Amino acid sequence: MSLFNKKTATEPQQPMDVDAVMKKYDRESNTRVWEGTPKLIVTCILAMFSLFCIYVTLFATWLDEVRLTSFMSFIMFIGYLVFPAQKGKQKVNYIPWYDIVLMIAGSGSFLYYCINAADIVARFKITTIEVIIGIIGILCLAELCRRSVGLPILCVAGALLIYALIWGSTNPSLVARITENVRVLFYSKEGILSTPINVCSKYIVMFIIFGAFLERTGIADFFIKIANALVGRFSGGPAKVAVVASALEGMVSGSSVANTVGSGAVTIPLMKRTGYKPEFAAAAEAAASTGGQIMPPIMGAAAFLMAETVGVPYSNIVTRAILPAVLFFAGVFITVHLEAKKEGLRGLSREELPRLKPLLKQTYLLLPLILLIYLVATSTRSIAYAAAIAIVMAIVVSLFNKEHRITPKRLLEALAAGGQGMITVAAACGVAGIIAGVIGVTGLAYMLFNGIVALAGNQVIIALFLTMLCCIVLGMGVPTTANYCIMAATCAPILVQMGVPMIAAHFFVFYFGIVADLTPPVALAAYAGAAIAQSNPMKTAFTSTKLAIGAFIVPYIFALNPAMLFIDTTVPEVILICITSLVGMFAVSAALEGYLLQHMRWHERVISIVGGLLLIYPGLMTDLIGLVLIATILCIQIITKKKSKHQPA
């Protein structure tokens, strides 16, 4: 999912390269080609869907089963209208007969439930016809998910369904087992219509529409330019631009690949031109863009799901996410800075940089975001209401710029883009609901918990490590929202049972699900960056993993000591934690890069890592020891650097 499309920020001379990379690594870009009158009709249908979602979210008081099934019926209809069966060049204005059949069958299945919801809810049992309708609905949803999301999540869902049918029930009758699974997965709130799709239809859709309107205000270009103006002139400027721009755009974006390709089309060639190696340039952009998924206030839309799952206010989740996100981006920023110093790389020239003063006049573009954050933090109204007001503000701010003014035509396009953006998220959330439903019905979560506890031997650190591996494997190739849904159902309860606070456990699994976009072998964000940089994909993936070290360290820290998430702590302690954590991240980044004031020897790197980790871990004693170790390394670096200057050449 991408809440706004970063391709607007790319250089005009490279559109074909960007499109090719997007189509290869981002499923959402492989859409059917409509032109002329058919395009207008499809655009109007998508816009109508957005308006329908806005009405239902803000005003309707329907039964949940009616609201969710009507939403899914619309998703099935527009999904097959937009996404073809296969990648590749598409015929213009063409939809094959089998897609029409799937469109009608899938949409009709959920529509049948919608019309008969009151009767079906009143009954515990379902009829044979309803079993068949449920099977059709599940299969059509799976096919739409394959087209728009990809196979990895379907492989997980398929394996679990097979397990549920063969070993997940003691009933000897296969027909009875099929009936029971269809009832749970299709007709109850424990499957497709569970929390993921509920949150998607209530909150996420509004933010996707908001993102579509925000894109048309020109904010993506503004973020790139402001990042260039702020840090482009410094040593290794283009890499720092990538980090700052991705942090800014991450506040409203929801796709690691789209982030990487969008801003990477600008920053990666600049990084290469200023002297960065292709693998490092691609890795820096991929790491920073993936970090956008953990950046408040949106967090790839997972923030809403987490709030609903954990049972705390949305503002609570966003507040606790701030320090870990800052540490992540600080780690990436410091590493690219040290790489630039080590290689003697320059920044961009004055002629290449946009002027800051004219850009400051465009800061009004941030008003929709500022208003959104303010309303979410202070208003007693719903999050959806805050998003609706922010959409209106986006339209208002666009009126001050002729180039990006939202005219009636652009209004229609924004509504249509919002409608199309919902397809992938809804399909992924629906299948994630199936996964969560099967795990709940079969008791697999309890078995997984017992297995990890047995391997860990009641040692929390070992349980965290095993859970990390599970999250990375299960998160490969899965979109952010569905990723978190799977982790919340499978891995988070294990950590909670091991004594990790619930919020810390959910943040832990969310972070490690996200880094699957960087870690081999399915490092989609890294591979997309490598395609732009023309670098070795595997080398890029390993380099991006090193750059994103913060995403590997920080979750362990807040799982073992939740003070980093502002749990059971005071304001002075929070300030101290922020300062020491940033210093610690600097030390760790320097050790991994092998450079501080000059090249570091192996023992200096080891001491620096130990000192950095001790500073990141909240606690007065660990902070003091960490400061001593880092101060020692800094003194050694200063002394040896002075000696090397006075030595004859």
What tens digit of pLDDT does each residue of 39-66 get?
999 999 999 999 999 999 989 889 999 9
Which residue would you say has higher pLDDT here, 88 or 580? Answer: 580
Distances (CA, A) of 568 to 497, 557, 561, 563: 19, 15, 10, 6
- 179-194 average pLDDT score: 91
Residue-level pLDDT at 252: 64
Residue-level pLDDT at 29: 67
pLDDT band at residue 26, thresholds of 50, 70 and 90?
Answer: low
Residue-level pLDDT at 47: 96
Q: Is the pLDDT of residue 194 over 60?
A: yes
> Coil, strand, or helix at residue 595?
strand
- 332-336 average pLDDT score: 85
Residue-level pLDDT at 479: 72
Say how far apart CA 101 and CA 633 lie, in whole Å.
Answer: 68
Q: Is the pLDDT of residue 6 over 70?
A: no
DSSP class of residue 9 equals: G
Residue-level pLDDT at 248: 76
pLDDT band at residue 24, thresholds of 50, 70 and 90?
Answer: low
Residue-level pLDDT at 396: 93
Say how far apart CA 186 and CA 69 lie, in whole Å.
Answer: 10
Residue-level pLDDT at 192: 92
Instruction: Give percent above pLDDT 90 in the chain.
Output: 24
Residue-level pLDDT at 251: 64
Q: Is the pLDDT of residue 3 over 50?
A: no
Asked if residues 525 and 290 have their Cβ atoms less than 8 Å apart, the reply is yes
> Coil, strand, or helix at residue 599?
strand
pLDDT band at residue 9, thresholds of 50, 70 and 90?
Answer: very low
Say how far apart CA 263 and CA 256 lie, in whole Å.
Answer: 11
Amino acid making up residue 5: N
The region that residue 401 occupies, defined by phi over 0 for left and psi between -120 and 50 for alpha, beta otherwise, is beta
Alpha carbons within 13 A on the beta-carbon side of 369: 21
- For all residues of the chain together, what is the average pLDDT? 84
Amino acid making up residue 584: G
Q: Is the pLDDT of residue 116 over 90?
A: yes
Tokens 């980790």 found at: 613
Q: 325, 259, 387, 211: which is closest to 564 by C-alpha? A: 325
Say how far apart CA 415 and CA 409 lie, in whole Å.
Answer: 10
DSSP class of residue 86 equals: S
Residue-level pLDDT at 97: 93
Q: 262, 269, 316: which is closest to 289 by C-alpha? A: 262
Q: Residue 470, class by beta-carbon neighbours within 10 Å (0-12 exposed, 13-18 middle, 19+ buried)?
A: buried
- 250-266 average pLDDT score: 73
Residue-level pLDDT at 448: 75
Distances (CA, A) of 311 to 106, 345, 370: 32, 48, 25
Which residue would you say has higher pLDDT here, 610 or 383? Answer: 610
Residue-level pLDDT at 627: 92
Asked if residues 71 and 426 have their Cβ atoms less than 8 Å apart, the reply is yes
User: Cβ neighbours of residue 323 under 8 Å, at least 6 residues apart?
Assistant: 564, 565, 566, 577, 578, 581
Output the six-digit token pair for 423. 């397809």
pLDDT band at residue 337, thresholds of 50, 70 and 90?
Answer: confident
> Coil, strand, or helix at residue 205?
helix
Output the six-digit token pair for 339. 């790489």
Phi, psi of 599, deg, nearest 5: -60, 140
Residue-level pLDDT at 12: 39
Question: Most confidently modeled of 63-72, 252-261, 379-388?
Answer: 63-72
Say how far apart CA 250 and CA 117 lie, in whole Å.
Answer: 39
- 547-557 average pLDDT score: 83
Asked if residues 6 and 289 have their Cβ atoms less than 8 Å apart, the reply is no
Asked if residues 512 and 538 have their Cβ atoms less than 8 Å apart, the reply is no
Question: Most confidently modeled of 27-41, 266-280, 284-298, 396-410?
Answer: 396-410
Say how far apart CA 519 and CA 545 lie, in whole Å.
Answer: 6
* Residues 168, 171, 176, 180, CA torsion sign: negative
Each residue's pLDDT tens digit, 117-155? 999 988 878 999 999 999 999 999 999 999 888 887 888
Q: Is the pLDDT of residue 25 over 70?
A: no
Alpha carbons within 13 A on the beta-carbon side of 629: 24
DSSP class of residue 194 equals: S
Q: Is the pLDDT of residue 2 over 80?
A: no
Residue-level pLDDT at 446: 74
- 485-511 average pLDDT score: 85
